[in-house]
Structure 1
């Protein structure tokens, strides 16, 4: 029998810090490979490089059936082993999604699990890697992730959560798995918890910390943690560009299980999904460049950030099919609550306030729009213009927002009011002081936030003023309030959904109603337009079947648009431009 014809060479080894498959193939085969593997990287020599994952090995095995490649015995064994591992994982994940329940002998939780919660925990166990649990707000993601810890091999575990949630996590742990010892980390510097009163000399089974303390503990806990749970995992959407991201990536090394929890993991553009998975399941989506070649398609923003995914619905389906994400709606699991009703409410704004600030930032607007200015100076100017103009818009409409809330309180027991700027909060506090408003923002300590929430729940306050990006995961408001008001907007649609999720969750007996207070001046018109664009990126990834706003054609360069608006406003005030 004649020797099998080969079409090139396949090698395996480190390349740019990661295990990589290298291919040198005949030209026509190389072209075919690039069509089959959109994430491939081609060198100047014509060689092809693909970062290793078990899925890539499986696809290469399939490719070699049509175009055999020469390889060493070690490479052949590696390819077969990795492909079989992927095949086995795929089979069990598919079986679980179709209703199979893997048997186990672990201790049962103190509260019985619902089938969909156990299914997600089973997938985390089956993958033995990172899974994003993106169930809709109110479906019990915290409880679901704790089910993973029934496996003794999953201990010790580390829960990382926002600043206001450690005590809530400890209560949930004690109610679900009461035989495990939990410990809330109280310092940014490592210490021995066995020396603390009440420890009985035992190390914790479950450590609980916040993202702000993570960097201080990463090296101390590295290699000791078997399971990582990232609550509100969108905190990692900037990846390893931040200290907390680098600390999270370090801790993830060598862990058996990793779970990320968030109903809104993508706040802005689709490339945030890669940043999260690069920590949660390293390599699962390839390198960043590979991810953008395979899934990208939009223009890149400043510093190569903010990249749109060409088909977010397809990406979401892929993540589900591979078990990298488990995301169910309330309707899918039979625990349906009415979706929040959103109402856009036109509101008056004091144009003079916005005009004054526009005059103050005119020079920065000119710098931002000048093609000859320094890129770093443009970046700085963009941030300052964004902050100043958003604050001015909030201040300009704050009295009118407060009056609207006052009218709502004639018929509602309580109202949650969301905003962003301290100067805006001060106006609301003064205008609504008859209702004993309390603050839950980035300025209060965790204890202060807890006191504010409790005063609101107990009825001592009728207005809870919350920062748009505070309170993710907070539970308890749904029992006393069903009406929220967005007095200011966030650039990210996921932030608004998270805010609504504080009210629209299990235990809510009324239809949740949220009002978006929109001015026809300042930053509101541009933000409303941008939010439609971003909804087209974020929602289909988590829920491919969801109806979303039609995205705006083209990307919205919000900084330049704000700068152009500033200059137009200044010219109008100077009489150089006629109002339409």
Structure 2
């Protein structure tokens, strides 16, 4: 196997003395054998260990494939680099967006007042012709900027908003708050808001005529045929990182809807558009501006390498280039520190706390014995994989249980010095035990399965100061809510993705927060937490 310094021959750009055309000359026994198979039209040079290939896009691609297997000493480096960039660089389908952003004026249908940077966000959406990724950090008002755009741009209605289930009610409230009704003859009705149809069932039926349709990602596929008939002009994908995998049904459903002739505007919203791997941005851009990054194969060839698990990871030396390409043509990304000078910082602490290792190891032994038995009985690879994932989930839960008494003490200590605290956890059993053990503080709760009304009631009680402690599921309570009353957030359990943690932190660290936000990550010593924490550090280096 080749080392990083080992080469198997040379590559040189030469003028062939017989054909008088510019060619690539390859030397080296193994390299010559492989390139001769890839390019049958190649011809031998002065001996059998030297081959000549006419310069072309196809031959360049074959040479790149060859060098992935047999690295060569490149004698014409500047020419090679220039041609590689020319061959693989994405070819934008639209000219760059002019990034000298102005403070755009909102249309008469918009009800409300934008901050200066939000007016610049509106200007960006207008200049991008409504095909854009608004990737401002969470808490900067992506929702209101989007509503200002659909209220200002011409012929944006009907609008389809696709969002996580827990945020649908919030979208309804924001539309009613910021958008005025426009009658069929174009008259603005100050006292009314647009008609809204919230799609809450997967049962197919004709949709009523409406200005705005709201649906969650999970129902989208079941109702896509009905939505196709609604004559949608604008698609807004909230938390668009839900579409980061091009193999999912929800991605395919959105892709189909976004290609409808009636759809003119496609807007993606996400404070964390690139989740665990930089290559996850391609499916998102493929919906918002198809072709901007080329095909997935072209994108990977230029920007990525493939790891030993077959995952495409953006090359470290290509990250800045990719970010620049996105910001030039499709993405607006602002951080709070850039636009809200008065907003305080976030401070993170990694707190290693004690855990009941005897309990943890005893339960872990049971889990792996059960896994071993299930693996032997499994008939298919799918069954084996499912069994393994169940074991991992069980280990995560016992890691949470093993440190729980120390988590509770930590929360109580913080409650003694602070008015309002938010605690995030993952498992329902941990959520239940935290509620019971911290009952003296009359906590409010957010957890999966709550009705919209119950969820909002719990948020309101916390924000009004009726309760000083909120216990929230990290996946249920990390989007669509405002928890600026608190400045302390405690992670009783860890998620696999750093983006999930950032989203949860930014429920507190957003417009309206007047204090520094302190985030505590509680890591159970000697448990799975140690491993998860190390993974989070690795993933956080992704752009």
TM-score, reference length from structure 2: 0.76
2:174 is the alignment partner of 1:172: yes
Structure 1 segment 134-173 matched on structure 2, within 5 A: 134-149=135-150, 150-173=152-175
Residue by residue, what CA displacement relative to the aligned partner does 1:512-537 show, whole Å, maximum 9, x if unpaired?
11111011222111111100100001
After superposing the two structures, state which structure 1 stretch, 305-314 or 218-227, moved more: 305-314
Give, in angstroms, the shift of residue 109 of structure 1. Answer: 2.6
Cα distance in 2 between the residues matched to 1:37 and 1:206: 52
Matches of 1:376 and 1:190 in 2, distance apart? Answer: 31
Matches within 5 A, 1:192-341: 194=208, 203-222=209-228, 224-239=231-246, 241-254=247-260, 255-301=263-309, 304-305=310-311, 307-311=313-317, 313-341=319-347
Residues in 2 aligned to 1:369 and 1:298: alpha-carbon distance in whole angstroms = 29
Structure 2 residue 530 is the aligned partner of structure 1 residue 528: no
Q: 1:410 to 1:446 in 2, by over 3 A?
A: same
Matched residue, 1:418: 424
The residue that corresponds to 1:442 in the other structure is 448
Distance in 2 between residues matched to 1:343 and 1:326, nearest whole Å: 30
Deviations 1:469-518 (A, max 9, x none): 1234433310x211110000011000100000000001011111111101
* Counterparts of 1:312 and 1:366, CA distance in 2: 42
The answer as to whether partners of 1:277 and 1:284 remain within 8 angstroms in 2 is: yes
Corresponding position of 1:29: 55
Distance 1:152 1:407 in 2: 55
Which runs of no fewer than 5 residues in structure 2 stay unpaired? Answer: 1-19, 24-40, 43-51, 66-81, 183-193
Residue number in structure 1 paired with 2:199: 185
Alpha-carbon separation, structure 2, partners of 1:220 and 1:189: 10
Secondary structure (helix, strand or coil) at the match of 1:443 reads coil
Deviation, structure 1 residue 347 = 1.3
CA-CA distance at 1:281 after TM superposition: 2.9
**Cα distance in 1 between the residues matched to 2:63 and 2:424:** 45
After superposition, the CA RMSD in angstroms is 3.6
Find the counterpart in structure 2 of residue 403 from structure 1: 409
Change (3 A) 1:368 1:243: same
Give the aligned length: 464
> Residue deviations 1:370-427, cap 9 Å, x none?
9x99643542243122201110100111121111111211122221111111121122
Per-residue CA deviation, residues 277-322 of structure 1 (Å, 9 max, x unaligned), is 2333333223332222221124153xx4474554463254234443
Q: Is the 8 A contact 1:141 1:261 kept in 2?
A: yes
Corresponding residue for residue 568 of structure 1? none
Q: Residues 124 and 258 of structure 1 are in contact (CA less than 8 Å); yes or no, is this contact kept in structure 2?
A: no
Rate the CA distance shift 1:315–1:498 in 2: closer, same or farther, 3 A.
farther
What is the alpha-carbon distance in structure 2 between the residues aligned to residue 334 and residue 226 of structure 1? 33
CA distance in 2, matches of 1:405, 1:322: 45
Per the TM alignment, residue 263 of structure 1 is displaced from its structure 2 partner at its CA by 0.9
1:357 to 1:33, Cα distance in 2 relative to 1, 3 A: same
The 1:105–1:449 alpha-carbon spacing in structure 2 relative to 1, beyond 3 Å, is closer
Q: Is the 8 A contact 1:367 1:373 kept in 2?
A: no
> Is the 8 Å Cα contact of residues 459 and 481 (structure 2) preserved in structure 1?
no
Distance 1:349 1:182, change over 3 A: farther
1:267 and 1:485, CA in 2 relative to 1: closer, same or farther beyond 3 A?
same
Q: Distance in 2 between matches of 1:37 and 1:473?
A: 47
* Deviation for aligned residue 1:346: 2.0
Decide whether the 8 Å contact of 2:255 with 2:287 is kept in 1.
yes
- 1:14-38 Cα offsets, whole Å, 9 max, x none, are xxxxxxxxxx999443269847998
Computing the radius of gyration from Cα coordinates, the structure with the larger value is 2
Give the secondary structure class of the aligned counterpart of 1:453. helix
1:494 to 482, 495, 499: 499
Contact residue 159 and residue 231 of structure 1 kept, 8 A: yes
The correspondence for 2:515, drawn from 510, 515, 524, is: 510
Are residues 456 and 36 of structure 1, via their aligned partners in 2, closer, same or farther at CA, if it must alter by over 3 Å? farther
Question: For residues 524 and 390 of structure 1, what CA distance do their matches in structure 2 show?
Answer: 8
Q: Distance in 2 between matches of 1:98 and 1:412?
A: 43
- Structure 1: gaps (5+ residues): 9-23, 40-58, 65-82, 195-202, 542-580
The answer to whether the aligner puts 1:121 opposite 2:129 as a matched pair is no
Q: CA deviation at 1:105?
A: 9.7
Pairing 1:10-29 to 2, within 5 Å after superposition = 27-29=53-55
Give, in angstroms, the shift of residue 190 of structure 1: 4.6
State the 1:126 CA deviation.
3.5
Give the Cα–Cα distance (whole angstroms) in 2 for the partners of residues 294 and 380 of structure 1: 34
Q: Give, in whole Å, the separation in 2 of the partners of 1:333 and 1:6.
A: 56
Structure 2 residue matching 1:139: 3-state secondary structure: coil
Segments of 4+ moved more than 6 angstroms: 5-8, 35-39, 367-370
What TM-score does the superposition give when structure 1 sets the normalisation length?
A: 0.72
Greater CA drift, 123-132 or 217-226: 123-132
**Alpha-carbon distance, 1:259 to partner:** 1.1
